[in-house]
Amino acid sequence: MLPRARAWGLALGLVVGCAPARDEPAAPREPTASSDPKRTVAGAFVPPGPRQRRDAVGSLEGLRGPDRRVFEEGEGLFHPVPQAGPGDWLDEHAERFQTFDDYRTHRTIHPDANRRAIYLVEIGEFPPGSSPSVDALARYVSTYFALPVQRLPPLDLPTLAVDARSSEGRIQLHAKQILERLRERKPDDAFTLVAITMFDLYPDEDWNFAYGYADGATQVGVFGFARLPTDPAQQLQRSAKTLTHELGHAFGVSHCTHYHCVMNGHNHEEEGRRAPMHLCPVDLRKLHHSIGFDPVKRYRRLLEVDRALGFLDEARWLEERLRQIEG
């Protein structure tokens, strides 16, 4: 069984999970050719250079002081997306280089005065000590996206009424059917409704499992934390990272191919573990354009939350980032 993490994209029913079951290891692959200069080449990815990364941020003309520096690379805190190794996401998947200008031109769905809330709903129980704190996740997500987070009453399995199966000693829920239930329950003021669960998920019978499943057209998704680390501190941090990555896709941000960034795609547990929790300058500018927050204030508030939740490495990164921006 070969886990393959696939993140929430914009088309209907993209999977966040693993490839269909196969008994033998995959044969070595030849690089996939591409004639599109804005698309990566699976099996032959080359990280972009400094000029390409700067161009991806877009023109900063007219911005001064901290308002400009917040979207600049600075010194030593942002790094190019790593060279893909065998089995890594960019070794196996072609991706578009989504620049800020691409995003601004083509992305038209944003939060507005009538649909501005992120809604979370739990499926099943989240037992203390063996699952992440939903209160902590809601606090982190609200700070990360500078938007209100609301919680719907939890759904139990009889109420949810979806198919389930047993696999690898875990109960797995049918992710596609969960989305049908979420569409029925999405509040009028919701920009997005996301279900979280400690159950495992599967989208189709021929899949081993999926970390999640989502529909970017109706902005609903479900994400499972069953396969995250069991250590409470690691579990909370990884679930927060997973949730912000997937919600980033709800705002139209594609997988990052410019920097080492929370929006990097990942094919396996180690690739997901080593990704940072923060957005790169390109993706921060996209989210800023969509939501309209003050980036420096967001960094300050996120620093407070990271300290409170014990995300100390990320807190130290934010301290240095704020020092560079504010001078």
φ, ψ dihedrals at 299, nearest 5°: -60, -45
* Annotated catalytic residue, options 73, 246, 271, 314: 246
Q: CB-based burial of residue 76 (10 Å sphere; 0-12 exposed, 13-18 middle, 19+ buried)?
A: exposed
Question: What's 156's DSSP letter?
Answer: -
- CA 102, 147, 289 angle in degrees (round to 5)? 20
Contact 57, 282 (CB under 8 A): yes
Other C-beta atoms lying within 10 Å of the C-beta of residue 60: 16
| Residues contacting residue 7 through CB under 8 Å, at least 6 positions apart | 14, 16, 245, 246, 249, 255, 263, 265, 266
Task: Outline where DSSP puts E strands in the chain.
Answer: 14-17, 117-123, 149-151, 164-167, 170-174, 190-197, 200-202, 210-215, 220-224
Q: What is the rounded distance in angstroms from the CA atom of residue 61 to the CA atom of residue 36?
A: 28
The values of phi and psi at residue 152, to 5°, are -85, 160
Active site residue 246: yes
Burial class for 2, CB neighbours closer than 10 Å (0-12, 13-18, 19+): middle
Task: Classify residue 61 by its DSSP letter.
Answer: T
Contact 220, 186 (CB under 8 A): yes
Separation CA 103–CA 283 (nearest Å): 9
What is the full DSSP assignment across 77-104?
A: S--BPPPP-TTSHHHH---B---HHHHH
Q: What is the CA radius of gyration of the chain?
A: 19
Give catalytic residues, as residue numbers: 246
